[in-house]
A and B are shown apart, each in its own frame.
Chain A
Amino acid sequence: MKSMRRGKVVRYNKWGYIFLTPFILVYLVFQFIPLVSTIYNSFFENYRSGLTQIGPNFLGLENYKTIFSNGDILTYGKNTIIMWVMGFVPQIIVSLLLAAWFSNPSLRLKGQRFFKTVIYLPNLIMASAFAMLFFTLFSDGGPVNSILMQVGILDQPYKFMSSIWSTRTLVAFMNFLMWFGNTTILLMAGMMGIDTALFEAAEVDGATSTQAFFKITLPLLRPILVYVMITSLIGGLQMFDVPQILTNATGDPMRSTMTLIMYLNKHLYSKNYGLGGALSVVMFVVTGILSMIVYKFTNKKMD
């Protein structure tokens, strides 16, 4: 009797493994093997000059020394974080506001479906097309400048792409536009999941809607907020296409909009697998640590 039950459990478990196999296979081929080979490559001098291959020659930790000693990784990491924060802060505020409005039954907003679609639309455009559009709009002789001049705000065209903060703001603004719809939908789903009885009880107790939002909605929304935060952070560290296209791969002015991945991409011109690999490994570690901090932080609060 006992052994039979065990057999059933094992047989039942079998399906679990079968369903897991596709994921494991995909993970091994597309994630694990590249990961290991990246780490392996990072110990070699391996690049191409013209059509001549140089290396691979074993270097030990030389590549890591190079990328840390020239300080580039810090500069570009800082750029990435600055532009991410500039985009993420307005993104989360606007999304929270919109989600609260959309999910509040007492407001009875009309045309919700329409607006939900519209705010999600920018996300459907390819980032590169979006960046091209902004590049044209904000070029020295572009429509934005001519409107500002005709209205009389400016006498001279403002060179948006020649000033550090206006370029960074443009990048951040584009990321904000592209992602706030997505975040709104996620947060809304979270808010709809909150028991309405809580809001009714608060109302009976005389809480204002602001109080209800800060005391009920936000605390109960924390798991979703954390999820949004992690995915956005990881997406932010990988920021590439928008600044790449907007600045024509230069990261100018003075590389102040060059992100880590754009820097990585620079090494691919010479197929520099050694330095590129070392940079990737460093970024892997950094992301790992960041994710761990966020996870620890949330787990503690939830206990």
Chain B
Amino acid sequence: MKKKLLSTVLSITMIAGLFAGCGQKEAETTPAADGEAVVQEQEETPAEAVEASEEGKVLNIYCWNDEFKRRIQDHYPGYTSDANDATKGTIGDVTVVWNITPNQDNAYQNNLDETLLKQADADADSKIDIFLVEADYALKYVDTEYTMPVADLGVTESDLANQYQYTKDIVTDSNGVLKGVSWQGCPGAMFYSREVAKEVFGSDDPAEVQKYVSDWDTFNETAVTLKDAGYSIISSVNDSYRVYSNNVTSKWVVDGKINIDDNIMKWVEDSKVLVDAGQTGTHDLWSDDWSKGFYPEGKVFAYFGPAWLVNFSMAADAEGSIGNAGGWAATEGPQGFFWGGTWICAATGTDNASLIKDIMLQMTCNEEIMKEIVVDDDDFVNNKPAMEAMAADTSYSSKILGGQNPLGMYCAGVEGLDLSNLSIYDQGCNEEFQRSMKNYFDGNADLDGALDQFYKAVVEKYPELTY
């Protein structure tokens, strides 16, 4: 009997141990200590680093897709790609190492967080030199010591004079220090299918179509017309989310409490009506169902997006897509908005300061290169005079947009951007809000239930918040 008891206890300990072992990882590093080390190092490095003639031979770049890589490949003078290894390239005698981690499931930031926290202890060649951030979570990095002020690299204010102010606001920390630069601006527009516009409204002229979507009420009426003709006005409710959420008048978090802005609640109301009437879907952005509308068979009238969406993400190089045939056109839509944008930040502790300075200057301040980017990639660049000149240039037109020159529309939109309501919680809140509301739209929960789930999910992500 004793033996049996002993064996039972042992077996249970073993099996339960196997199970428990999987759950939890150890917090081995003590980030606080690392943080101090970084601060110390930062205080002594800047001046020396910039003037140092002996610079590192490896430039580590952390990013989440190959967009920046393609820009560097195509436009940075002196960059050669490595034919055998897609993750490497060279600039002079410096090896460029691309560390690309997809955004999915927060993998990019998790990876970046861990590496940045160990930055102080890493040896010079494996330290992060450049990392890219997006507007949604830029403040999370910019407002720490891990990001280097661009002034310390030797980039002066006059170098950046032609950039749009909002691109600087996003990467300015709470002390007013600028810590990143961007080559693109991301004011949004509504891209609609010319084919469908001709069929339903009798005209594909942007000014004409704008009348049907000039504000949210007319937009919703137009949705009914389109539904009768067999089209969804937008692919998914999540398409219009950013248009509402960029026009908020308050932050997601006020004094440690989660706060839902009125305009966001308006999105919920309007979207629920659209979904219930079958005028749009509830699938996630970037899902297969969402992308169906890139092709005529998808029966989607419009997408909301910035310049990069139409160029980079809407299957324009795939045979048979609307973009490939030049079938899109751009119009302002109900409200102005922006989406995304990529900022280049230098990591504290880098040993390639002057190379980073040159990359920043070439990619975000050199007017020639920036014009090239507009022409080659249909991107909207962060350079006021260049963009205004291109907008006035009648010889420039976008192939994907069927010969339209949309730059004037973008230029007007970019001036109106107000980014004063960004917070470090934006990404988590925006994601969780859309996820929770999907349950409400699909009829699996009432509004209160969906809101409760939203609060719960946000507190899981940011345990310090209350609601």
Q: Which residues of A contact B (CB under 8 A)?
A: 27, 30-32, 34-35, 37-38, 41, 46-54, 70, 72, 136, 139-142, 159, 162-164, 230, 234, 237-238, 248-250, 252-256, 261, 264, 266-273, 275-277, 279-281, 283-284, 287-288, 291-292, 295-296, 299
Contact = CB atoms under 8 A, between A and B. Distances in A.
Interface stretch (B284-292, B336-344, B374-382, B393-401): B284-292
Interface string B104-119: 0110000001001100
Contacts of A51: 31, 113, 116-117, 140-141, 144, 146
Contacts of B123: none
Interface in B347-369: none
B20 interface: yes
Contact of A254 (B23, B144, B281, B439): B439
Contact of B17 (A32, A49, A54): A32
12 contacts: A27-B17, A34-B21, A50-B140, A50-B143, A139-B288, A141-B292, A162-B438, A238-B22, A250-B435, A253-B439, A269-B460, A280-B23
A46 B28 CA distance: 13
B441 to A, nearest CB: 9
A54 B26 CA distance: 16
Contact of B20 (A41, A54, A280): A280
B417 interface: no
Contact of B27 (A50, A234, A271, A287): A271
A273 B461 contact: no
Given A35-B17, A54-B464, A234-B15, A140 B23 contact: no
A287 B15 contact: yes
B282 A162 contact: yes
5 tightest A-B CB contacts, nearest first: A280-B23, A253-B444, A162-B442, A284-B20, A288-B16
Given A51-B116, A249-B105, A277 B4 contact: no
Contacts of A72: 456
B455 to A, nearest CB: 11
B449 interface: yes
Give the interface size class of chain B.
Answer: 35 or more
B467 interface: no
Contacts of B443: 162
A270 B18 CA distance: 25
Contact of A159 (B27, B146, B442, B460): B442
A190 B292 CA distance: 51
Nearest to A264: B23
- Which residue among B13, B15, B117 has the maximum number of chain A CB atoms within 10 Å of its CB? B15
